[in-house]
A and B are shown apart, each in its own frame.
Chain A
Amino acid sequence: MHNSEHYSEDVKIPMGPQHPSLKEPESFLISLRGEKITASSVRLGYNHRGIEKACEDRTYTQGLYLIERICGICSHSHSTCFSQAVEEIAGVEIPARAKYLRTLIGELERIHSHLLWLGVAGHEIGFDTLLMYTWRDREVVMDLLAALTGNRVNYGINTIGGVRRDISSKQKEEVLKGVAILETQTKYYIDLAKNETTLLKRLQGVGVLSHEDAVRLDAVGPTARACGVKRDVRKDDPYAAYAELDFKVISVNSCDVYGRTLVRLGELMESYSLIRQIISKIPEGAIAVKLPRKIPAGQAVSRYEAPRGEDLHYVRANGTEKPDRVKVRAPTLANIQSVSKMLEDRYLADMPIVIAAIDPCFSCTDRLIAIRDSRNKEKNTVTWETIRLKGIEWYKGQGIDFKSLNKKLTESF
């Protein structure tokens, strides 16, 4: 039983920007009565890096690499979404093979993201074995992504006009082998989610967001689909190769964190099926078309179903080689407003898992680096060199000397 009746006043607790349960900065102000949350507000923006402005000073191709770095988890979502917008303005249709390859990487990315989430969810409820298991399995898909694209996180596979790397028949076999392992493991996790008492007790009825609130607050992705809002850009506004592939939109009506878990697990199974279809149906042909450096004046809105939900990019071109405006609306920004609703009248102890359940990504959401010493208000500049030297000094203090380490490394090669 909660103990809120023993308290006559609310206590305000700031959580963040260095948040105890998330790896990214954001700040919540929680009003508590006993253990119960009576009100909450969120302050975002700590990760705003001015990427949209920076894109205006860069060519479309340079912008593509910058945009890929909006997020370290759904990097492919952003680069595909941006490329689609530019290709639409230029009036270019990319080759079918390129569409399939983008879809393939997109689904592999979803698998890595959902497995990562499942691990974080396990960690937030004190079920760290689940974290260890899922992150171990996630390495399978990370290796596949590295083999196909050359990179584990920022894949660099997209180019405006298609993709940069083709897939070989040997790689196709490797993908199928990896998918088979992951499918077996995911079935085990689904079984776990349905029967394991820790998960059921800790996730059911926690972080409830009603169907009406999900619609009213424009929640997206698994957060919305767990409230019975059957929306998925892959189905509703198909892009890349999705119109030619068969898959179900997974949704449940439980409206809680447990539902969000089931939706993501179900989506993992759909992703495995999608990947098998892609491997068997991928058409032969070119993987990219060349686009002129200057993109004609125009505008386009591109959408993409990222692992966390609808990602939207708006691009306006002015006839030069640089865009006039690039706007990014990542899924977390759409979902964050639901969090206050989910926390209302709930326990403080549920807060980490409730926030984690929307799978927040604040880098995506904030897209600035302001260096200022708040104590003396002076403008303070830190260069990379200073940071590097500071790092070396800090490690020296810990008894680690890079000089001798470097020497050892050179000798061993």
Chain B
Amino acid sequence: MNEENIKQELENKFSYLKDAVIIKRKGRIFVAVELDKFDEVFAYAVKQMRFLALSAITGLDRGDAFEVIYHLNQEGRILLNLSVSLNRENPQINSVCPICPSADLYERELEDLLGIKVNGLAAGHRYPLTDDWPQGEYPLRKDWKAKISNQGVQNA
């Protein structure tokens, strides 16, 4: 399966993905998916299209919204990057752990660093911040600034 076939298959299966699948270069496909459609596209890509490996999940703050990108790959070769936007007021997304068990730590990172609620994530240690990290402080949000002075790091 090459990049063109993958694009075709996604567009045929999900009509709303027409124009959303972008082949950036060999081995790199980017797809922006709406939140309500995300679960089905993700499950299809993993189970039917055999993008079995999850390389990482990137969360980022665009200012107006959060964006979460799932970097999936097929046999290590082609990277399918599925991105989804979440509103800033109440950012929530369903856990993909039932499909990709390796997502656990990446999803904890989304919760810790960006304050995105991951529904269905099993109870466990937080990652990567300390247990005494103050509540409601999410360092990767753009409006969060580290309080650093030449006296050293404070409130970190």
Contacts and interface: CB of A to CB of B under 8 A. Distances in A.
A10 B25 CA distance: 53
Given A215-B52, A383-B152, A237 B102 contact: no
A336 B106 CA distance: 12
Interface string B116-156: 00000000111111101100000110000010000111111
B7 interface: no
B140 A232 contact: no
A44 interface: yes
B146 A50 contact: yes
Nearest to B71: A301
A195 interface: no
Interface stretch (B11-19, B72-80, B84-92): B72-80
A382 interface: yes
Nearest to B62: A324
Interface in A38-57: 41-45, 48, 50, 52-53
Interface residues of A, number: 49
B125 A41 contact: yes
B58 interface: yes
A381 B130 contact: no
Contacts of A232: 76
Given A370-B156, A371-B156, A381-B151, A324 B60 contact: yes
B58 A45 contact: no
A236 B69 contact: no
B55 interface: yes
A383 B150 CA distance: 8
A314 B69 CA distance: 10
A369 B146 CA distance: 11
A237 B128 CA distance: 29
Interface stretch (A102-110, A142-150, A325-333): A325-333
A23 interface: no
Contact of B76 (A216, A236, A327): A236
Interface in A16-53: 41-45, 48, 50, 52-53
A379 interface: yes
24 contacts: A45-B126, A48-B129, A52-B140, A216-B102, A217-B101, A231-B76, A232-B76, A236-B75, A300-B24, A310-B55, A312-B55, A314-B71, A316-B60, A325-B60, A327-B58, A329-B55, A329-B56, A334-B55, A371-B152, A374-B132, A379-B155, A381-B152, A381-B153, A383-B151
Given A314-B56, A324-B60, A370 B102 contact: no
B98 interface: no
Interface string A299-337: 111010000001010101000000011010100011011
Contacts of A53: 139-140, 146
Nearest to A328: B56
A256 interface: no
Contacts of B25: 88
A400 interface: no
B30 A299 contact: yes
Interface in A371-395: 371-372, 374, 377, 379, 381-384
Nearest to A231: B76
Contact of B102 (A43, A218, A369): A218
A233 interface: yes
A366 interface: yes
A180 interface: no
Contacts of B24: 300
Contacts of A42: 125
Contacts of A372: 130, 132
B54 interface: yes
Contacts of A333: 105
A368 interface: yes
A44 B109 CA distance: 11
B101 A327 contact: no
A378 to B, nearest CB: 11
A366 B127 CA distance: 9
B79 A381 contact: no
Nearest to A232: B76
Contacts of B133: 370
B128 A325 contact: no
Contacts of B55: 218, 303, 310, 312, 329, 334
B102 A50 contact: no
Given A310-B76, A377-B132, 4 more contacts: A53-B140, A312-B56, A325-B61, A368-B129
A233 B102 contact: no
B54 to A, nearest CB: 6
Contacts of B79: 237, 301, 303
